[in-house]
Amino acid sequence: MDDNSPLHAAPQAGMTFSTALTGEQIAAQAEAMAGRLKQARTELGRVILGQDRVIELVLTSILAGGHALLVGAPGLGKTLLVTTLGRVMGMDARRVQFTPDLMPSDILGSEILDEDESGRRSFRFVAGPVFCQLLMADEINRASPRTQSALLQAMQEREVAIAGTNHLLPRPFHVLATQNPIEQEGTYPLPEAQLDRFMMQVTLDFPDIQAERAMLLATTGTTTATASPVLGAADVLHAQGLVRALPVGEQVVDAIVRLVRSARPETTDDPVIREAVAWGPGPRAAQALMLATRARALLDGRLSPTIADVAALAHPILVHRMALSFTARAENTSLSELVDTLVGRIG
């Protein structure tokens, strides 16, 4: 793994304060933050109906400092989720609609040639929409691989290189990308390297009948629900610092290592995994699990994660980092079922 990976690097600016705090101070600040996160979760739930699990995973991803890939059919509220999240979390949010003709410069920005009144010419950098705190990459798999790859450096290093000059992105910086099912026409599957940069893949399913009924009543009247701001960008950085300061027990660490290694055909003891999995999760998956389990604990008002957190986050963190072999695909093997089997062994 590249040493510049955001999950491998030192904490971001504004996050290192927590290392100087005592255990009692961390506990007190975590308790206070948990109350505000509960309020943020409530505000999101007022607008995003019937998607409590999705809200939990997206908040967990942001608290852990990662990016999330939202997968689901059109009309399930993916765009509304991101815009509402930006409002509730107090982050500068922007949206880019990915289309087949979108160019990398449409996302990152470019240098333009200016001429002043004296006729002197010089280049000036015009920042693209990626220079924000919460970027929504809408229907990311509708753009060409060349344009998809424009986000790789931004997601990993929190900066972009234009004409040989590095430009730092604002902090915090998170990408929430939406993706239509690959089976739909006009889509390009994301390459493995980019998938690995998403901390989680969050699947949006159709709401149950009660949620869909509530949705109809809430969105087709003369007024619609809106969410109120709860946090600011500085609060998000503070929460991310607290996440990294929370203790993790040895049992949880061992469970994470065993789970990730058991999902790789090269290191597993399971002959089914060796035959069915073409490639498995790398060390970045273990780092994501370590951070995400802490984030989920903070979101629930707990001071340390448990093995139950590892089990709850295994699917969104592992599935998009694994691929089935040709034989397994021919036999209609399910990655989700394979992960279920592995999760059942870590308790």
Q: In angstroms, rounded to a whole number, what is the distance separating the alpha carbons of residues 320 and 315?
A: 8
Between 44 and 182, residue with greater pLDDT: 44
Lowest mean pLDDT segment, chosen from 13-27, 160-174, 247-261, 266-280: 13-27
* Contact yes or no for 173/136 (Cβ under 8 A): no
Q: Give tens-digit pLDDT for 113-149.
A: 887 777 788 888 888 899 999 999 998 888 888 888 8
The structural domains of the chain, ordered by start, are 1-101+132-143+151-245 (3.40.50.300), 247-347 (1.10.8.80)
- On average, the pLDDT of the chain sits at 86
Average pLDDT, integer, range 35-42: 93
Banded pLDDT at 244 (limits 50, 70, 90): very high
CA atoms within 13 A on the CB side of 4: 8
Q: Are β-strands 165-168 and 159-162 bridged in parallel, bridged antiparallel, or unpaired?
A: antiparallel
How much is the pLDDT for 58?
95
Banded pLDDT at 184 (limits 50, 70, 90): low
> Is the pLDDT assigned to residue 339 strictly greater than 90?
yes
- Residue 50: strand, helix, or coil: coil
Between 183 and 328, residue with greater pLDDT: 328
> Is the pLDDT assigned to residue 55 strictly greater than 90?
yes
Average pLDDT, integer, range 84-98: 91
Q: Give tens-digit pLDDT for 255-270.
A: 999 999 999 999 999 9
* Contact yes or no for 278/265 (Cβ under 8 A): yes
How much is the pLDDT for 141?
85
How much is the pLDDT for 11?
41
Q: Encode 18-52: b = buried (16+ Cβ within 10 Å), e = exposed.
A: beeeeeeebeebbeebbeebeebbebbbebbbbbe
